[in-house]
Structure 1
Amino acid sequence: MNTTIHLDPLPRRRVLRGLASGLAALGLAGCGFALRKAPTFAFQTIRLQGNEGTAVARELREALQANGLQVLTTATAAPTQPAQVVFTVVTDQRERAVVGQTAAGQVRELQLRTRFVFRLRTATEKTLIDETELLLERDISFTETAVLSKDAEEAMLYRDMQGDIVQQVLRRLAAVKSL
């Protein structure tokens, strides 16, 4: 009487998959990989001034408040103590340029730009971040038969660029280590 016992290969695969996952996690930990953490700032209060009513400035104000900073603007009441740093929005503008046309002169491709210029100083006018320009560009195709959808795509791209600028500014503010 021949009796053959077959082992199910499924548990062996699970063990191998678990070992591979563990080794991958160890490899990532060893190379210095870490998820991005919330930024830490060398100051607790910041005053926004300049073009503070623009979409980027509003989103930046919300992001700073979400990170635990007290944000002062011209609309807020004067606090008992002045802000530790002053963030000045010099320029915040959106641009739209035609970069491609058909032989008939119709617009085929557009380039969307968001330009944001800012500087950071202490309350005593010590410069922490010189005037810095952030310029983001996105290309978008254009057809006159789909104007409404292209308008929605354009608005989405501008919102995306706005979020990118806010994240870049937050990283630059977090890089300031002392006042």
Structure 2
Amino acid sequence: MTIRTLAVRATLALALGASVASCGFQLRGSGGQYTMPFHSIYLGFSETSPLGVELKRNLRAGSAVVVSSPKDADAQFDVISEQRNKQILSLNSQGRVREYLLLYTLTFRVRDKDGGEILGPTEITLKRNLAFNESETLARESEEALLYRDMQNDLVQQILRRLAAVKTKA
């Protein structure tokens, strides 16, 4: 390939990139910013819940105000249950665990300030596979923690999308 061909291709790629950027193109949901249908929300998580802290941080970065009292909120996020489970997925020929299935399940609902349901009980379940080797126990524990953290981030994004999509009374 000649230098001239490379220069033409680079110029075309640069022109295409500039035209896409100048027209206002933006990926849907880019930046994790969502417009919430309510001004303020109360989160029913404990203060030390990692999921609650992450959700609060993401909501504050967007358009919603997170309040500390349910009576000051336009919407109330109630946690019905939050569970982390680990199940055996497969065994090797000696009957030892070869693979685990990690599950993270959250059930929640959203109510308005009058107690009416905006979003009925909703369950989100995330699953990840974890390969296991007895000789690498410490590494697998770190990988398990990393997978749960990844599931938590995914769960927060799914909650934000569902919250942004709810219809409130006008």
What TM-score does the superposition give when structure 1 sets the normalisation length?
Answer: 0.79
Match of 2:15 in 1: 22
Match of 2:41 in 1: 46
Instruction: Map 1:124-163 onto structure 2 (within 5 A).
Output: 124-163=114-153
The correspondence for 1:83, drawn from 56, 66, 73, is: 73
Instruction: Map 1:118-129 onto structure 2 (within 5 A).
Output: 118-129=108-119
The structural deviation recorded for 1:124 is 1.0
Match of 1:60 in 2: 55
- What letter corresponds to residue 109 of structure 2 in structure 1? R
The structural deviation recorded for 1:118 is 0.8
SS at match of 1:162: helix
Alignment partners' CA distance in 2, 1:50 and 1:166:
13
The answer as to whether partners of 1:51 and 1:90 remain within 8 angstroms in 2 is no
SS at match of 1:103: coil
Deviates more, 1:13-22 or 1:125-134: 13-22
What TM-score does the superposition give when structure 2 sets the normalisation length?
Answer: 0.83
The structural deviation recorded for 1:26 is 5.9
Instruction: Map 1:106-121 onto structure 2 (within 5 A).
Output: 106-121=96-111
Instruction: Map 1:164-175 onto structure 2 (within 5 A).
Output: 164-175=154-165
**Can you list the C-alpha shifts for 1:68-109, whole angstroms capped at 9, x where unaligned?**
422124xxxx59x62101110111110000111123221111
Q: Cα 1:98–1:72, aligned 2, differ >3 Å: closer, same or farther? A: same
Larger-gyration structure (1/2): 1
How many residues are treated as equivalent by the alignment? 165
Alignment partners' CA distance in 1, 2:112 and 2:103:
30
The answer as to whether partners of 2:35 and 2:63 remain within 8 angstroms in 1 is no
The structural deviation recorded for 1:12 is 5.0
Match of 2:26 in 1: 34
SS at match of 1:167: helix
Match of 1:176 in 2: 166
The answer as to whether partners of 2:36 and 2:63 remain within 8 angstroms in 1 is no
The answer as to whether partners of 2:106 and 2:125 remain within 8 angstroms in 1 is yes
The structural deviation recorded for 1:60 is 0.9
- Determine what percentage of the aligned residue pairs are the same residue: 36
The structural deviation recorded for 1:130 is 1.1
